[in-house]
Amino acid sequence: MTRDTGCVKTGATRVTFGMRLGTIMLDVTAIRRDFPILSQLHHDGVPLVYLDNAATSQKPEAVIRAIENYYRDYNANIHRGIHKLAEEATAAYEGARERVRAFINAASSREIVFTRNTTEAINLVAYTWGRVNIRAGDVIVLTEMEHHSNLVPWHMLAAETGAHLEFIPVTDDGYLDLGAFDRLLELHPRLVAFTHMSNVLGTINPAAEMVARAHAAGAVVLVDGAQSVPHLPVDVRALDCDFLAFSGHKMCGPTGIGVLYGKRALLEAMPPFLGGGDMIKRVYLREFRPNDLPWKFEAGTPAIAEGIGLGAAVDYLTGLGMAEVHAHEQAIVSYALDRLHEIKGAHVYGPPARDRGGVAAFSIDGIHPHDLAQLLDRDGIAIRAGHHCAMPLHDRLGLVATARASFYVYNTEEEVDRLILSLYRAMDLFGV
């Protein structure tokens, strides 16, 4: 890495040397050029400000091109074909699996199962590991801040098996009550499942500490990484979690592809999730033998193009550096929180910027979040409004809905300023 020009090339974009503390800061201007949609003009020719990244991220040209190249140059089914196109497609798809393994530091690519999304990955664990290991009277510990994807599968499992669900409370300032967690662990739960980062509050939970406490109590641990893996460094061996679930579309990748990481011994002991082609080693009329890991959980033709696209997204984020991604988002969300706190009648939910990712959920007195989102859209600003698939958390906060601005590597302080200006316009319109 040289300093003569003040910047260096890393993959599809650049980083610049910061003056404060000798840090390396992302060159956001260069990054924005990698995302074609960000040059789009919105209503009345205003530039798009995309602040809905917790729902899905935008895609860089490198990912779009990787998917296009698959369909244009070597489209074929994978694993069983012996012709050139099939071999190229298989190599690209399985190469993506290896890049995902390295990205989260799993011990083996056999521990990386491709699913459709985080939701399917969690359901896979509930249907396979859960139905083998959970019995009547067993305790499953969740939290009050979970996304529905990490609630409903366990509701269904508990209703089927007679297990009991218990919940770690959320404090008024947006943290998990770890004292209450310790008391719940005295019940010796079979499973503890929690989000690494809240999609509403932005709270980054102390995952490694929670995993260690849960393991000491004899529990298996699933971590919902849908909001953490795209935004900060995640090392599954350092966390020591048993399962980790996340989605490609929130980390610059395409929709329709997600990941379940599982420790190999656990995955080996779990029965298949779906039956059909590719998940088998041998089929007889009256029985079958399942395939090896990870393919025994990947029935049928998979999302090949999407898997290849996810591999390209991992390459892109690796080139940026996940520590730099996280630092950029914390700087942006810190600025956004400061600006939101300037607004009279605005309420911001969750912890300080130092303990959260790039998410800011808020409300403004006298304006429903849905009306707020619609008015912001007229100014070219895309945010999310509603319960964000976290109804129990909103119940805990005494809210029906919130507005949510969520940030990523391509967002800027200038876009935050546009958000704030548009909020003031909405307040003027409503007379608040």
Q: Please tell me whether residues 133 and 173 are part of one structural domain.
A: yes
Q: pTM for this one?
A: 0.93
Q: What is the CATH number of the domain that holds 415?
A: 3.90.1150.10
Number of domains in the chain: 2
Q: Please tell me whether residues 267 and 364 are part of one structural domain.
A: no
| Chosen domain end from 288, 319, 350 | 319
Q: Residue count of the chain, please give it.
A: 432
Strands 280-283 and 288-290: antiparallel
Q: Please tell me whether residues 376 and 310 are part of one structural domain.
A: no
Cα angle, residue 128 at apex, residues 240 and 301 outer, rounded to 5°: 100
3-state DSSP assignment of residue 220: strand
Residue ranges of the alpha helices (H) in 74-144?
84-104, 118-125, 131-133
Of 308, 313, 184, 185, whose CA–CA distance to 253 is shortest? 313
| Chosen domain end from 303, 319, 335 | 319
Amino acid 42: pLDDT:
85
Q: Please tell me whether residues 183 and 306 are part of one structural domain.
A: yes
Q: Please tell me whether residues 390 and 243 are part of one structural domain.
A: no
Q: Please tell me whether residues 69 and 56 are part of one structural domain.
A: no
Known catalytic residue at 389:
yes
Per-residue pLDDT of the chain (432 residues; tens, 9 = 90+): 232 323 333 344 444 433 333 345 799 999 999 999 999 998 889 999 999 999 999 999 999 999 999 999 999 999 988 899 999 999 999 999 999 999 999 999 999 999 999 999 999 999 999 999 999 999 999 999 999 999 999 999 999 999 999 999 999 999 999 999 999 999 999 999 999 999 999 999 999 999 999 999 999 999 999 999 999 999 999 999 999 999 999 999 999 999 999 999 999 999 999 999 999 999 999 999 999 999 999 999 999 999 999 999 999 999 999 999 999 999 999 999 999 999 999 999 999 999 999 999 999 999 999 999 999 999 999 999 999 999 999 999 999 999 999 999 999 999 999 999 999 999 999 999
Tokens 């530039």 map to which residue?
47
**How many angstroms separate the CA atoms of 29 and 27, rounded?**
6
| Chosen domain end from 319, 335, 359 | 319
What's the token pair of residue 202? Answer: 């932005």
Amino acid 24: pLDDT:
56
Query: Which residues does 1 contact at the CB level (< 8 Å), separation at least 6?
Result: 8
By residue range, what is the domain housing residue 363? 7-60+321-430
2 found inside a domain: no
The answer to whether 309 and 253 have CB atoms below 8 angstroms apart is yes
**How many angstroms separate the CA atoms of 33 and 11, rounded?**
13
- Which residue of the set 7, 241, 252, 389 is catalytic? 389
Asked, as a colleague might, if the bond just before 47 is cis with ω within 30 of 0, I would say: no
Q: What is the CATH number of the domain that holds 84?
A: 3.40.640.10
Strands 164-168 and 384-386: unpaired
Q: Please tell me whether residues 38 and 159 are part of one structural domain.
A: no
Query: Which residues does 134 contact at the CB level (< 8 Å), separation at least 6?
Result: 140, 157, 158, 161, 163, 190, 191
